[in-house]
A and B are shown apart, each in its own frame.
Chain A
Amino acid sequence: MTLNRRTVVQALGTAAATTALPALAQGGAPVRIGYAMARTGPWSVGAQTSQEPNYLLWAEQVNAAGGLDVKGTKRRIELISSDDQSNIETCVRTYEKLMGSDKVDLVLPPWGSNANFAVAPLANRFQYPFLAPTALSRRLVEMKLPYFFLLLQQPKPMMDALVDMLKANGAKTVAVIYVDDLFGLENYAALKVALAGSGINIVEDKSYPLGVKDLSPVLRGFKDKNPDAFIGLTYPPDTILASRQAKEIGFNPKFFYASVGTAFQLYRNVMQAGAEGVLGMGSWNGKTSPGAKAYFDAHVKKFGAAKEPDRWASGATWAGLEILTAAVARVGLDRKAIRDYVAGNTHKTILGDVRFQGSENVGVPGTVGQWQKGEFEVVWPRNRATAPLNPNKPAWV
């Protein structure tokens, strides 16, 4: 082909057209997705670790690939978000605005059980599907709201898994502390049920109020009783407090289990080498599936190595977003159809299969995680484990 003017013009024309194609294919109006998230106040620690970064990463990833696939057409995602200030009234008001006045296409849930309790009835009233990754309560499940789905494993499966693991490893006695909150109480009740008939005895149990400053008197009492396992049904600040104070007084049971927060990178930062062998609530890491690794890497790339996704709720958040993406690709933006799709199918996510029975995710079983050499591995149940359990936690360093 000779390089004459015509060819050049043709070539330029084709080039121009090709670059314009994706823009054309992205088709008009963006998909408006709204949410409220705690950026200030007590909920913000959890919210900014497990939830909001994932929302942002997802929108960025999807838009970079051309947009959200809405039944064949790709449309850009537009996130409409605001700070709920860890305040329920603000949360309720924001979602009323998003769903009632602004009439956004989709919504994403806020952080925490309290906020989700408040917005779940709204989800139902306005008929927007909610896939909540940070809500944990049997009562929410019992409300039987058809538009509300809980992704996180609920107390019963988590405690069952813990007890199974302890039983299989010969633990005979446990000491328990739990926070004076719905989370602590429900998990404690589930723990007691799971322990009944297991051959394991609770030698001592104590509850403590939110915001406790000192747990060492309690831990000293536990140390005296010398249990095989310590179970803390705790929130991040108390998880850290209990760990540090156990180290101070030299309380070294074979199994040391703390709940929320153990799976955060923050825990490893604070406890450093002392995190080795600590058990906690976690359900995935980069080894769980190739998708999980890809997600982990993308998260670290966007937010830096200092902000890894946490090994429990973050995974659930991402799984929820995967389900939503698949639903929209399949049935478009018809919210009732999305709800039916979510409720009626088994979904493949980075956590494995997710399947809903009513509001509860019964596809992911209860799991136990453990810090091993700087990584939070899944150690129970064996068929999901990324590493074998270390049944003898080394003494605190």
Chain B
Amino acid sequence: MSTSDKTWNERLTGWLLDKKLLGRDVLVLFALTGWALAVPHWGSEFAVSMALTCLMYVALATSWTLFCGTTRYLSLATAAFFGIGAYFSAIYIEQLGWATVIVAGAGVAALVALVMGAAVLHLRGTYFAVLTFGMTELIRHAITYWEKQVTGTVGRVLTVAPERDTIYLTVLLLAVLAVATSIVIRRTRFGLALAGIGADEQRAQTLGVNTRWVKIGGFMLTAAFAGAVGAAMSVRWTYIDPSTVFNPFIGFQTVLIALIGGVATLWGPLIAAIVFSLLAETLRLQAPQLYLMTLGVLLILSVLYLPGGLASLRWETFRQWRDDTKAWWKELRRSDADKQKEALS
């Protein structure tokens, strides 16, 4: 076995042996769920709304990271699946009832992901990202056109809406499910395959992983969660139209949160989702533009200096930054001294 093969294997098996971390992960999940469940009872209307937004992004960011973080195929199609779920919910909620519409919405989104994935998952990197963005816009325009020509309308009014608490519990369930799925999948063959594709796709293929179907499966999983969340959130807005639910910003914010939180980690996206929802609300009241600008700057800074995201922040990182800055300062001063020497000699 060559040295590079060994490193690849070592990294993968590291995951399998992380049994003690499994206990930690499950415990944290339980604690957070318990706290989230308490909010509707003790918290004000506003606290519930805040928590709802946090949970929505936890679900979206975690499920995104599940596939895109591990395989490093950056998908910008979250808004497409969200919108599909929302539309499904708007059209069928009267006939199907709440639970069915959520599950079915997730299912439809997954089907679309299947088709999309089969068509585009053989392309890598920027091609894939750009393509998923293009497809989101294509779906949005296609639905607008269809609605206009065939049904003679543009948006949909949701006449039936469940209780606020039902919506909250549904989104909470989706968030918990997303995190739980993430915890479980990391420890299965499927999860290993995903990580292997992210590390080195060709090698994974030669070692017998059916990369095509693993990728499609992961993509479908991401889509299902986004679709379910879309189906749940659309009732809060009463009226949905393509530009609201297929808003690319939903996709961008999800990606941003996942990236800043830490794309290869489990808790990173969750932490970032909570931090950013709170940050957004605070800044909104004082300086709304500042929030989005901050988001942009933080993303740039984190890609440049903290590629592992917030979750990879350790004491060593700070020490490394301090050392780097010292070295840079020394470099500057030394060149001054060198210049002086040259001038004298």
Direct A/B contact, Cβ within 8 angstroms: yes
Q: Are B144 and A185 in contact (CB under 8 A)?
A: no
Are B239 and A139 in touch, CB under 8 angstroms? yes
Interface: A395 (CB within 8 A): no
Q: Is the CB of B239 within 8 A of A101?
A: no
List CB contacts (< 8 Å) of A73-91 with chain B.
Answer: 82-83, 85, 88-90
- Evaluate contact between B49 and A96: CB separation under 8 angstroms: yes
Tell whether, in the assembled complex, residue A101 and residue B46 are in contact, meaning their CB atoms are under 8 Å apart: yes
Cβ-defined contact, A118 with B46, below 8 A: no
From 7 to 62 in chain A, residues with beta carbon under 8 angstroms from any chain B beta carbon are 39-40
Residues of A within 8 A of B208 (CB): none
A93 part of interface (Cβ distance < 8 Å): yes
Mostly helix, strand, loop or mixed at chain B's interface? helix
Q: Which among B148-156, B169-177, B312-320, B337-345 touches the partner chain? A: B148-156
In the complex, whether A294 has a CB less than 8 A from a CB of chain B is no
Within the complex, which residue of A40, A92, A121 is in contact with B288, where a contact is CB–CB below 8 Å?
A: A40
Contact, CB under 8 Å: B44 / A182: no
In contact, B152 and A189 (Cβ under 8 angstroms): yes
Cβ of B53 within 8 Å of any chain A Cβ, yes or no, is: yes
Contacts of A90 in B (CB 8 A): 284
Q: How does the 8 Å CB contact mask read for B157-175 relative to A, with 1 for contact and 0 for none? A: 1010100000000000000
With both chains docked as a complex, state the minimum distance between the C-beta of B4 and any C-beta of chain A, in angstroms: 47
Give complex CA distance A185, B154 in Å.
7
A120 CA to B157 CA, complexed, in Å? 12
CB pair A118–B238 under 8 Å, yes or no, is: yes
A209/B144 contact (C-beta < 8 A), A101-B44, A118-B236 known: yes
**B157 and A92 contacting across the interface, CB-CB below 8 Å:** no
Closest to B144 in A: A180
Contact B45 A114 (CB under 8 A): no
Partner of B237, one of A113, A117, A189, A210: A117
- Asked whether any CB of chain A lies closer than 8 Å to the CB of B36, the reply is no
Tell me the chain A residues, 173-225 only, with Cβ under 8 Å from chain B. Answer: 180-182, 185, 189, 207, 209-210
Which residues of A lie under 8 Å from residue B144 when comparing CB positions?
180, 209
Q: Which of B137-154 contact A (CB under 8 A)?
A: 141, 144, 148, 152-154
B residues neighboring A (CB under 8 Å): 44-50, 53, 141, 144, 148, 152-155, 157, 159, 161, 233, 236-239, 241, 243-244, 284-285, 288-289
Name 12 extra pairs, CB < 8 A, besides A93-B50, A143-B157. Answer: A39-B288, A83-B284, A89-B237, A114-B239, A121-B161, A139-B239, A180-B144, A180-B148, A182-B154, A185-B154, A209-B141, A209-B144
Using CB atoms and an 8 Å cutoff, list the residues of chain A in contact with chain B: 39-40, 82-83, 85, 88-90, 92-93, 96-97, 99-101, 113-114, 117-118, 120-121, 139, 143, 180-182, 185, 189, 207, 209-210
Interchain Cβ contacts under 8 Å between A and B, 26 examples: A40-B288, A40-B289, A83-B284, A88-B237, A89-B233, A89-B237, A92-B49, A92-B237, A93-B46, A93-B49, A93-B50, A96-B45, A96-B49, A97-B46, A101-B45, A113-B239, A114-B241, A118-B238, A139-B157, A139-B239, A181-B241, A182-B153, A182-B239, A185-B148, A209-B144, A210-B243
